[in-house]
C-alpha cells in the first residue's frame, strides 16, 4: 500500500505537528476543530516525551504553550475564532518575548459566537497582530489537505527560526474535509539546532531572563526596533503565493484557502467559455505576497478579490497595487460557502463590464 492516507484536515495538522517535533499541546475545545485536540490527546499519550493538556480555558492554554516554549519544547495550541480572540494576550506576550509557538485557527462565522460554518472573518485579526502592541504574526493559509501537512511542518520551522509565534489560518471546511495526504518523515529532535536562550536550569552557566516587561521607554524602543528588523527580514524571506493560469490572463482572482479552491473551479469554467482568467493565491497572509501582485500589475489591469468575509484582504491587495490596477471585490461572510457556478457568474459579469474580451 502506498503512503497516501485519507485523513480529516484537523487530524492532518495534528499528525504533521507530531512529525514536526511538537511535544507539547494545550487547548480548550471548540467546534469545528475538536478533532485536533482529540487527535493530539492520543498521539501525545503514545510518545514517551509528549504532553497533552486539556486546559481550563483558552487563556490558560496559550500561556501553557508560552511556558513550554520557554523551556525549549516545540509547542502548539489550537482553537476557533472566538477562542482565538481569548488567546490574543498570550500571542502578544509570545511575540514580545521572542518565543516560538504554533497557533491553529480553524475559522468559523462571526463576529461574536457566530456559527460553526467556514468563514474567513479573522483575516484582520490574524495579520494585524490581534493582540496589543507593535508586533506581527506569521500567518500561513493552507488550501489543500497536503498543504495542511506541509505548512504545519513549515510553521514549526519558521517559529523556531525567527523565534516568533506562527498562526495556521484554516477554516471549518478544511478542518472537517478528508483528502489524501502523504506525510514527510518525522524530524529527529536531536538534530534540530540547539536553542541557546531557553530556561532549562542555570547550573553551569549564567542565568537567562525571558520577559516582556521593559519599563525604560528607551530600552523598549530598542526592543521594538529589534522586532521590526526581524519582521522586515521575514517579509523579504518567506512571502509566498501560488499562481494558476495567469500567463495570458486579463483578469486575476486573488483568494486564499477554501475561497481559492472555489475560485479555481470558477476559473476552470470561465476558461471553458473563453475568458482569460487566472488565480493568485497567497499562501502566506503575513508577510503578504505584495510583490507578486505588484509585478503582475504590469500586464493585468483588473484584480478581483474573493473572500469569505465583507472585505479584508482586499485592503492588502490595494496597498500592494498602489493604484496601478483596478481592484474589485466579491465577498460572502457569515459562513456561507459559494459554489464555483456563483463565482463564475461574478467573473463573467465583471469581465464583460470591463470589456476585457476586446483586444
- Residue 129 or 175 with smaller CB distance to other proteins: 175
Cell triple for 3: 503512503
Among 99, 116, 140, 238, binds other proteins (CB under 8 A): 116
**Residues 303 to 332: which contact other proteins by CB under 8 A?**
none
4 binds other proteins (CB under 8 A): yes
Contacts of 73 (CB under 8 A, 6+ apart): 23, 24, 51
- Residue 59 or 337 with smaller CB distance to other proteins: 337
Please check whether residue 76 is in contact with residue 60, taking contact to mean a CB–CB distance below 8 angstroms. no
Minimal distance, residue 339 CB to other proteins, in Å: 4
157 binds other proteins (CB under 8 A): no
Q: What are phi and psi of 183, to 5 degrees?
A: -85, 145
- Residue 15 or 316 with smaller CB distance to other proteins: 15
Among 304, 340, 347, 350, binds other proteins (CB under 8 A): 340
Among 87, 136, 261, 281, binds other proteins (CB under 8 A): 261
Among 128, 223, 268, 301, binds other proteins (CB under 8 A): 268
Please check whether residue 271 is in contact with residue 251, taking contact to mean a CB–CB distance below 8 angstroms. no
Q: What mask, x for binding other proteins by CB under 8 A, covers residues 202 to 241?
A: ----------------------------------------
**Residues 53 to 112: which contact other proteins by CB under 8 A?**
none
Among 163, 264, 328, 332, binds other proteins (CB under 8 A): 264
Contacting residues toward other proteins, per CB under 8 A? 1, 4, 6, 31-32, 116-117, 145, 172-173, 176-180, 261-262, 264-265, 268, 337, 339-341
Amino acid at each position: 500500500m502506498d503512503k497516501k492516507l485519507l485523513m480529516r484536515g484537523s487530524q492532518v495538522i495534528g499528525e504533521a505537528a507530531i512529525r514536526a517535533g511538537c511535544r507539547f499541546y494545550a487547548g480548550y475545545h471548540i467546534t469545528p476543530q475538536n478533532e485536533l485536540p482529540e487527535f493530539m490527546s492520543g498521539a501525545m499519550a503514545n510518545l514517551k516525551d509528549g504532553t497533552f493538556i486539556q486546559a481550563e480555558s483558552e487563556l490558560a492554554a496559550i500561556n501553557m504553550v508560552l511556558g513550554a516554549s520557554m523551556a525549549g519544547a516545540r509547542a502548539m495550541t489550537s482553537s476557533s475564532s472566538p477562542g482565538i480572540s481569548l488567546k490574543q494576550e498570550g500571542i502578544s506576550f509570545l511575540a514580545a518575548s521572542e518565543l516560538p509557538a504554533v497557533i491553529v485557527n480553524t475559522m468559523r462565522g462571526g463576529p461574536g459566537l457566530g456559527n460553526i460554518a467556514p468563514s474567513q472573518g479573522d483575516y484582520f485579526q490574524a495579520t494585524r497582530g490581534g493582540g496589543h502592541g507593535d508586533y506581527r504574526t506569521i500567518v500561513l493559509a493552507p488550501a489543500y489537505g497536503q498543504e495542511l501537512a506541509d505548512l504545519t511542518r513549515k510553521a514549526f520551522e519558521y517559529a523556531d527560526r525567527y523565534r516568533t509565534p506562527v498562526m495556521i489560518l484554516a477554516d471549518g471546511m478544511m478542518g472537517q474535509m478528508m483528502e489524501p495526504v502523504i506525510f514527510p518523515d518525522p524530524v529527529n529532535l536531536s538534530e534540530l539546532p540547539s536553542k541557546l536562550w531557553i530556561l532549562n536550569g542555570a547550573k553551569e552557566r549564567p542565568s537567562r531572563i525571558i520577559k516582556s516587561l521593559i519599563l525604560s521607554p528607551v530600552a523598549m524602543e530598542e526592543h521594538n526596533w529589534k522586532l521590526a528588523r526581524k519582521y522586515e527580514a521575514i517579509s523579504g524571506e518567506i512571502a509566498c503565493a501560488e499562481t494558476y493560469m495567469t500567463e495570458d490572463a486579463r483578469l486575476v482572482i486573488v483568494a486564499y484557502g477554501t475561497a481559492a479552491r472555489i475560485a479555481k473551479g470558477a476559473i476552470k469554467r470561465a476558461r471553458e467559455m473563453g475568458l482569460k482568467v487566472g488565480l493568485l493565491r497567497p499562501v502566506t497572509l503575513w508577510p503578504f505576497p505584495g510583490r507578486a501582485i505588484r509585478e503582475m500589475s504590469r500586464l493585468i489591469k483588473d484584480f478581483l478579490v474573493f473572500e469569505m468575509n465583507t472585505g479584508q484582504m482586499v485592503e492588502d491587495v490595494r496597498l500592494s497595487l498602489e493604484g496601478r490596477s483596478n481592484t474589485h471585490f466579491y465577498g460572502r461572510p457569515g459562513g456561507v460557502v459559494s459554489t464555483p457556478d456563483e463565482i463564475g457568474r461574478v467573473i463573467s459579469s465583471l469581465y464583460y463590464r470591463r470589456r476585457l474580451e476586446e483586444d
